[in-house]
Structure 1
Amino acid sequence: MTYQNFLNSQTQHAVPSGLSPLLEALWHAGRDEWHKAHAIAQQHEDAPLFDWLHAFLHRQQGDFNNAAYWYRRAGRAEFDGSLRHEWQEIVKTQLPA
């Protein structure tokens, strides 16, 4: 799947088949399905990309102290761009253009 295909899939009613857990969580996050994305992130708390996702989700939620904790765990600086831009950056780590 390409990045553009992933973006286009956001209008579908079901998660596209064959996505990794990280992409599945990002798919939900991109649709503002916070609880579904967060549940997946919690299942993978020892992986840096999931920690970054977890930070993003808490930032999306407005829980900035919790987000800061997850950015530290991910070994990343707190993101200073828009939520949409951060979401796109995480997705692009997983998919070709």
Structure 2
Amino acid sequence: MNFDEFLQSIDLDKSAPKELNIQLRALWYDGKGDWKSAHDLIDHLEDRTSAHVHAYLHRVEGDLWNAKYWYGRAKQPVFEGDLADEWQQLVKMLLG
């Protein structure tokens, strides 16, 4: 799946495509405006990629302290741009 197909699936599908990994599914649900489903998918995972997505989700929530904690767990700098830019960068990175 490429980035354009990912975006189209958000507009057309009621649930995340099955071929997406859990991090992309979380970002898919966030793209749909369903923060809770996105967070529920990712909040129990311990790997660095999941921590990076988790950090982004806490930025969306407005919990910057918690976001900084998760950026640290992901070994990533705190993202300074806007949320839409970070979402797009994460999706593109995870799609490869």
Q: TM-score, normalised by structure 1?
A: 0.91
CA offsets, 1:60-83, max 9 Å, x none? 000000101001111111100010
* Larger relative contact order, structure 1 or 2 (CA cutoff 8 Å, min sep 6): 1
Corresponding letter in the other structure for 1:22:
Q
The 3-state SS of whatever aligns with 1:19 is: coil
Aligned pairs (5 A) from 1:25-36: 25-36=26-37
Counterpart position of 2:42:
41
State how far apart, in whole Å, the 1-side matches of 2:25 and 2:44 are: 13
State how far apart, in whole Å, the 2-side matches of 1:24 and 1:41 are: 9
State how far apart, in whole Å, the 2-side matches of 1:9 and 1:22 are: 16
| Structure 1 gap ranges (5+) | none
Which is helix-richer, 1 or 2? 2
State how far apart, in whole Å, the 2-side matches of 1:55 and 1:20 are: 17
Q: Answer yes or no: is 1:80 the counterpart of 2:71.
A: no
| Structure 2 gap ranges (5+) | none
Counterpart position of 1:20:
21
State how far apart, in whole Å, the 1-side matches of 2:87 and 2:77 are: 15
Give the CA deviation at 1:17. 2.3
Give the CA deviation at 1:43. 2.9
State how far apart, in whole Å, the 2-side matches of 1:21 and 1:47 are: 12
State how far apart, in whole Å, the 2-side matches of 1:40 and 1:25 are: 6
Corresponding letter in the other structure for 1:91:
V
RMSD: 1.1
Segments of 4+ in structure 1 off by > 6 A?
Answer: none
